[in-house]
Structure 1
């Protein structure tokens, strides 16, 4: 490209948060603009490399997720060149995080956090519950692939939560819902404790996120040791279907 204005077409100032994923907080396009040279869509949209991922701390990764959600809510999501990301990640993956979320069609983590190919490992199961298969996947993501954050993300108006509250019996779903029931018992709530009460459903969903995080720490010594050593962070969040906000839980 011959002019800085051409670069701005593909690398807008709003893209700085996206660039932070790629350069540990220093955007490739921001650097290009400062020195007066152009940058290609390949550079702008490439997947994470090992060095770029390793330059990020767990706290920085969480902050970038928050900023991605802010872009989603404002309708100013970064342009994603999925073909460039596919090519860049074909020879290896260096994800920054693994996200355990619900299968609900209204809560796709990659979209609501404005994340591209190769940036996160995404595990989805009704009610975002933990089980041996999920724990094994998390251990692979963190201990082998090098992810630094485990995000357990529930959401409002969760059908799996409602089913557990109602004691639904339906084939293999019955056993899955049993995994949620301890969270129901742990939920302190003054009011109607039924699936018709949206406030109670959401309170249980939050309890379920915390319960899942506890299960991860208690059942996986590998992940617990990584967290104790400061190599990873395990955090929870709730996604609000109404306003699109991901509320991270302390």
Structure 2
């Protein structure tokens, strides 16, 4: 990739570089020493409050580019833990799937103290999750609600295939409306992963609609321009987090 095509560092990245408190040296086989900065600063209230919702979303996009290119920030998690032990000022709350292949913090290259995270099969909303989101935004000051689905989602496939198993049955039932609402002309079965992915995307969009409908608190904050509620799809093949319009 041409150096002219590399993304500009986000405000958050620059702040972390400025606040970094340690530098490490990596010695190669040939004895060449390469400097590397360890990002040890946790997000502060001042840093978070200076950022707009759009800037936070943009920082996630750039973090995902770093993830895909293998150029992730060198996080000093111990130092971040210590820096955030007396307070937290996350910029966003993320609702994603329980799938082990889709850890939002890693995919977006963020550190300890930067995001609230809720994970449940099929990234669906319920009253407990809505209450957590309301705390994150109305009380703790987060400015973005991000719903993240992913390709090849087992929960979506299970809903399509009418899987039944204990409490999982009622969970998958909450995904079923997305099946009927998905416009798709091909084979509408769980074995067709193009259809599964199409339903997963619809499910993200419907979850956002449900958040706005079932949480007057979050809807009001969004209407006032204080937060943004956005959706995304993580592509297991390639690692891209696609932000939905």
TM-score by length of 2: 0.88
Of 157, 162, 168, the residue aligned with 2:163 is: 168
Query: How many residues are matched?
Result: 226
Report 1:166-205 matches (<5 A): 166-205=161-200
Corresponding residue for residue 55 of structure 1: 50
Correspondent of 2:21 among 19, 40, 47: 40
How do 1:105-116 residues align onto structure 2 when only pairs under 5 Å count?
105-116=100-111
Give the whole-Å Cα distance in 2 for the aligned partners of 1:179 and 1:27: 41
- 1:136 equivalent in structure 2: 131
Q: 2:147 touches 2:232 (CA, 8 Å); kept in 1? A: yes
Residue-by-residue CA offset, 1:133-189 (whole Å, 9 max, x unaligned): 110010010001110000000000000000000111100000000110011111000
Instruction: Determine if the alignment matches structure 1 residue 21 to structure 2 residue 2.
Output: no
Q: CA deviation at 1:21?
A: 2.0
Gapped runs of 5+ residues in structure 1?
1-13, 33-38
Q: Deviations over 1:62-87 (max 9, x none)?
A: 00000000000000000000011101
Aligned partner of 1:238 among 212, 233, 236: 233
Determine whether 1:123 maps to 2:111.
Answer: no
Which residue matches 2:80? Answer: 85
For 2:213, which of 198, 211, 218 is the aligned residue?
218
Gaps of 5+ in 2: 1-5, 24-37
Q: Which has the higher helix share?
A: 1
Cα distance in structure 1, aligned partners of 2:65 and 2:204: 22
1:41 and 1:81 in contact (8 A); partners too: no
Mapped partners of 1:158, 1:133: distance in 2: 22
Q: Is the 8 A contact 2:148 2:204 kept in 1?
A: yes
Is the partner of 1:117 in helix, strand or coil? coil
Counterpart position of 2:202 = 207
**What is the TM-score of this pair, normalised by structure 1?**
0.86
- SS of aligned partner of 2:74: coil
Deviation at 1:45, TM superposition (A): 2.1
| Structure showing the higher strand proportion among its residues | 2
Runs of 4+ in 1 over 3 A off after TM superposition: 26-29
